[in-house]
Chain A
Amino acid sequence: MRRLLLRSATRSMKTPSTSLLLALLSLILLTPTSAESARRTLHYEFDENRITRFSFEASRVIATELVQTPEEGKSLDYLPLLDSIARVESKLSGTLERFVAKSYRDGTRGVVARLVDLSGTVQQVAEPRPSSFEGLEGKSVAFRVHESGEILHSNGWPYVHGAGRGGELAEDVLLQSVLRLPRHLPKGSGEGTSFTVRVPVDPSLERSTLWMLRYTPAEAPADCGKHCYAIAYSGELQETATDRHPARPMQRKATGAIEGTMIIEGRRRAKRLIGHDWTIRWTRDITSSRADGRPRGTIRQIVESTGSLELANVEEGQ
């Protein structure tokens, strides 16, 4: 019986049709693909060996309220500080330089996006004060991104985030420069999608946002050209974040609403982003914890964020 089975297996391996079938099966299964690549007719064109520049403007209005006061607050004079950050309006403008630093074997790109020529204003209690946002000037974030806009990984966020940097303005600009495209140019009532975006600030901070968007066709600007398309989108955002750093044990839960319009241009499936504007409204609850896990204090922040990106130029070299 054993000999018969062995003979039969050997025979099946030797027939040409079976060998071909096995070879084709191996080729199909071992070819790496992104979750979004199946049947996709729309993807980003990233300029290789060139620096692509976008001019951008971003603004945020943040209302901060202490919802639950920690017991430790009794010995601290924190009220003047909370009054000074009760309503903050920040504006940032500048240039986003982007270049492809690496092309991976699976077709994804290592893209570096850098913030330069920054200027802005910050308004708290008094008149707006100008700021050069020097903590952000020249900082960059590297993305490993699929042609659909799916971000597989990113690096550099610790240099953008943190108290006093103004990095939240920059984060919107950086992420919106590679917003996930729909699989096809939307028609009629459009198509919906959902995806998760993670921002790895540091190893102890887990932060992920679920985006649920619906894309619909929009009208492209008249001066855009023949192969110009506008895609409008709207949807909901849900964020959960847990910071396990021993010096800052905090959690954040947030819900948001987003809407925007992307302008893309190109004759073929690969399209270049030439414009993008968006509005996001967040409601965030930030809770700090004690060492034993009991809640310590809660702060609520309502954030209204708007922004726009516009392709400025594409330059040879890096």
Chain B
Amino acid sequence: MRTAFGLQDCAQRLALAGVLLFVGLGAGEARAAGGLATDALDFPGEPTDRYLTPSEVRTVLHAATEEFYTCFRTKLRGAEAPGEVAVTFVIDRAGKPTSIQTEVGRAPAELGPCLLKVVEGLVFDDHDGEPMPVSYPLVYQVDTKGARVLPYPIVFTKPHAVRLPLLELPEGISPGATRLLELLLTADGEKPEVKEKEDHE
């Protein structure tokens, strides 16, 4: 019986070690593969890379929701529903908003300068990309619970286009030449309105 117990003990230990080995390998691989989500090079709020993403811009805009609401509360008194309100601006490389424009819909004109001042006070991270155009709608809602500005889930930015990345072309090649190569090689060329824009450049 003693011998039988000893063998069972050994078998139990080996089985447990085997389970630990299996679990440990899985955990080790998970760690080596990338670790936590915050370890990503462009994780919002803790990026390693030096480019702004729409989610990082959205975080800054959402943090200013109360200030946007203060503008509506003070400038919209007694006025009808404002309709479509939005702010449009460009984030320069230093992280400063420039070329700020406001659309106030049906709201009183005084709302515009107030929103402009809020955007001027926003601070974004400095970045190595091109100046980033941004458009952000401001949704003002009034219901039985009161009035508020809702943080809009989408920030509209111009997508960064990479044209023909597998074909090595000389630096400074004209947009027209690039378009000709795209028409020659790819299934569909760019839309006519884009072609008109390139012709004007």
Contact = CB atoms under 8 A, between A and B. Distances in A.
Interface string A260-292: 000000000000000000000000101011110
Interface stretch (A153-161, A177-185, A219-227, A229-237): A153-161
B171 interface: yes
Nearest to B173: A164
Contacts of B120: none
A241 interface: yes
Given A12-B9, A78-B180, A162 B161 contact: yes
A138 B166 contact: no
A30 B34 contact: no
B141 interface: no
A195 to B, nearest CB: 15
Nearest to B128: A140
A104 B34 CA distance: 10
B48 A101 contact: yes
B165 A205 contact: yes
Given A142-B48, A243-B166, A32 B32 contact: yes
B121 interface: no
A252 to B, nearest CB: 4
A208 to B, nearest CB: 13
A38 interface: no
B31 A25 contact: no
B171 A161 contact: no
A81 interface: yes
A243 B32 CA distance: 28
Interface residues of B, number: 58
Contacts of A248: 163-166, 182, 186
Contacts of B50: 112, 114, 140, 142, 156
Interface stretch (A1-9, A40-48, A209-217, A307-315): A1-9
Nearest to B51: A156
Interface residues of A, number: 92
B170 A88 contact: yes
Contact of B17 (A25, A159, A299): A25
Contacts of B12: 5, 8-9, 12
B16 A161 contact: no
A30 to B, nearest CB: 5
Contact of B168 (A5, A104, A303): A303
Interface in B94-115: none
Interface in A58-100: 60, 62, 64, 70, 72-73, 76, 78, 81, 84-85, 88, 90
Given A18-B13, A104-B39, A142-B41, A70 B184 contact: yes
Given A12-B9, A73-B184, A288-B185, A110 B169 contact: no
A192 interface: no
B28 A33 contact: yes
Contacts of B163: 162-164, 248
Most buried by A among B24, B48, B161, B178: B48
Given A114-B50, A155-B48, A8 B8 contact: yes
Contacts of B188: 247
A250 B184 contact: no
Contacts of A284: 168
A55 interface: no
Contacts of B185: 70, 250, 288, 296-297, 299
B9 A144 contact: no
A127 interface: no
Contacts of B13: 12, 18
B75 interface: no
A140 to B, nearest CB: 5
Most buried by B among A144, A163, A241, A249: A163
Given A106-B32, A158-B162, 19 more contacts: A4-B5, A9-B12, A25-B20, A26-B20, A29-B23, A35-B32, A70-B185, A76-B180, A104-B39, A120-B171, A129-B172, A155-B42, A162-B161, A163-B163, A164-B175, A201-B162, A248-B164, A248-B165, A286-B167
13 contacts: A11-B9, A29-B21, A32-B28, A33-B32, A84-B177, A90-B170, A104-B35, A159-B129, A286-B166, A289-B187, A296-B185, A296-B187, A301-B168
